[in-house]
Amino acid sequence: MIPGCHATTVAYDRITFTDTPPIVEIEPGSEASFDVTLRNAGSQYADVDINTRSITDGISIIDNDGSKLVDMGKSVTYQITIHVSEGIAPGTYQFEIADRSDIDVHTWETIDVRVGGKQGVAEPTDDSEDRGCESAEPWNSPGLGVIAVAAVLLLAYRLGSGRP
């Protein structure tokens, strides 16, 4: 043992995540909070904080609920708040979280963040009736909005180039 060093050798993962969200849904330019739960299966209490890594540009951790005392055989829930910048592209991103304590190895868990909602994913239905165009959900089709934007851009291009 090194004099003055208080580090201990950790043999196994005593503090583990027992509950993490399957996915966090968030819109660009907003914040979202989600809960994670840690359980202490060790034989001593620990002050535990949440550590993060591999965070994509445009996503930031606003609050990780700070350090909490996790007693032996007990669980503690942390509320993590993230912010997604206005300019981030819709899609699914990931970052990792781990417990941070002096008595434990740090096992990393992946958190999936879906920016922009469902992104046009169709929901299956049990309806066996006619499935014509009227059954399509409005968010599955670009609709007239895309056509209108294309027409306006084309008109602006023609006016800007001086062509009739």
Q: What is the pLDDT of residues 20-50, one digit of tens each?
A: 999 999 999 999 999 999 999 999 999 999 9
Q: Which one has a higher pLDDT value, 156 or 13?
A: 13
| Angle at 90 (CA atoms; ends 98, 51), nearest 5 degrees | 10
Residue 153: the pLDDT is: 65
CATH number at residue 33: 2.60.40.10
Q: Looking at the domain assignment, is residue 50 inside a domain?
A: yes
- For residue 148, is it within any domain? no
> For residue 3, is it within any domain?
no
User: Domain for residue 144, yes or no?
Assistant: no
- Domain containing 34 equals 15-115
The answer on pLDDT for 158 being more than 80 is no
- Give per-residue pLDDT as tens, 57-107: 999 999 999 999 999 999 999 999 999 999 999 999 999 999 999 888 888
The whole-chain average pLDDT of the chain stands at 79
Cβ neighbours of residue 8 closer than 8 Å, sequence gap 6 or more: 102, 103
pLDDT at 135 over 80: no
In a domain, 10, yes or no: no
